[in-house]
Amino acid sequence: MLKIVIAGGFGAGKTTAVGAVSEITPLSTEEYLTEASANVDSLDGVEAKQTTTVAFDFGRLSLPDAPVPLELFLFGTPGQDRFVDLWYDLSRGAVGAVVLVDTRRLESSFTPVSFFEDIGLPFVVAVNHFDGAHRYHPEQVRAALELPTCVPVVTCDARNPSHIAGVLLTLVGHAVKYAPAGPDHPTPTTTLQDA
């Protein structure tokens, strides 16, 4: 059993990704956007968005046919920067994270990327292809986000279960590759994850 965090900016597709791949009815804390949040949550580029996650999303995916059978517990974060304190709690005990990127609002990806770099949690970047959005090569996104070559950058459609399952398997492989090797290598920045 592995815990995975799915993060990204406001409107990047986190709730959609969890719902697309979850084998159970996902727990969702979506609430309607109101005028009260208009000064806080910019809808530039996502004008059709009507709801937002206010706590987290939860889903489960079993992969019995993987090289090692896996059961993944998926925790989707709220996307707004004001919820970063909650990200610490959701990341505690996670094997790694997926940062969903919306290239229409790339600037919203810097906070989650920096967050996982700071706490030392392995992560992959998944560029969510939105209908009508310009398609960028993964290496262009890597350069724009100033990511090291060791961080996998892949593309996906958050509505497609096989795409999201592939992203999750990429993350698990990456996390295993970069896992601490023994008692001399403690879990990265546990104090931050426990904050």
Specify whether the CB–CB gap between 18 and 58 falls below 8 A: yes
Residues 6+ apart with CB under 8 A from 26: 15, 18, 19, 57, 58, 59
pLDDT at 53: 56
Distance CA 164, CA 78 (A): 18
- The structure's pTM equals 0.79
Residues 6+ apart with CB under 8 A from 8: 14, 77, 79, 98, 99, 100, 101, 102, 108, 109, 112, 128
Specify whether the CB–CB gap between 96 and 188 falls below 8 A: no
pLDDT at 164: 97
What are the 10-residue block averages of pLDDT along the chain, 195 residues in total?
93 92 82 53 54 73 86 89 84 96 91 95 96 91 96 96 95 86 43 35
DSSP 187: P
